[in-house]
A = this chain, B = another copy of it.
């Protein structure tokens, strides 16, 4: 079965509204008087990280990517549950895990470990506590809203190239990304839609536009990039940066630094206009799971 077919089938099993967690998004669920945000991400050896990356950095990234999903919901991390396949470099994994948990002030609550040969799989479930309800979703972008980016894109691309091809570039944005937790919490009450940019700005903007039934018109020159100017188009298509993409009325006094990178328009020919040209994505717009 293809991954798309499997996920489509899972969705038919999961009519619960929180099951948007299947769509590469976090799950949001009310428990008593509290609202929780849940996210799960798996990383597989040979697929989700280059061999040049240390297991310490893999551990950090596993934590960071899940916390980035919480950031996009304005949620405060409550804890993480780890699933771990034992093997080589376990001590390095522990070092990176410790560094990430301490840096982001999030406790490890529990988990499970397994042994076995073959490709190793790591999984993490992060639990967050929504600080503002309703929790921001991808589907709230409205015609006339501004499109904003908190953070930049392209840094992970440059870091990846430095890691795998050598060179003097800063590897940190790729190997040890920082989820924008405080920015997400500050922005949550102000936004009409928000998501983290994990797979690439354009593909993620496409998803937001699809979810909102609108067209996102982006001006590429306005996008903050952490890459040379001649790599701007690549930076818009590369993933792993974990910036926050959001929409809000253009006159909103924003509580976090963000660049206005476009405007939400009525749904047009496709979901995305880049420099006034219609894109036919999402193929080619960024990393596809």
Contact = CB atoms under 8 A, between A and B. Distances in A.
B38 A86 contact: no
Interface residues of A, number: 67
Oligomer copy total: 2
A45 to B, nearest CB: 8
B107 A42 contact: no
22 contacts: A7-B113, A10-B97, A13-B97, A13-B98, A13-B108, A16-B109, A18-B110, A19-B110, A21-B111, A22-B110, A22-B111, A31-B78, A32-B33, A38-B110, A42-B112, A46-B116, A81-B125, A113-B289, A117-B119, A118-B119, A119-B119, A125-B125
Interface of A: 1-3, 6-7, 9-10, 13-16, 18-22, 25-27, 29, 31-34, 36, 38-42, 44, 46-48, 78-79, 81-86, 90-91, 94, 97-98, 101, 107-119, 121, 123, 125, 127, 129, 289
| Ranked 10 nearest A-B pairs via Cβ | A21-B110, A118-B118, A16-B107, A27-B109, A1-B90, A14-B108, A27-B110, A32-B34, A125-B125, A118-B119
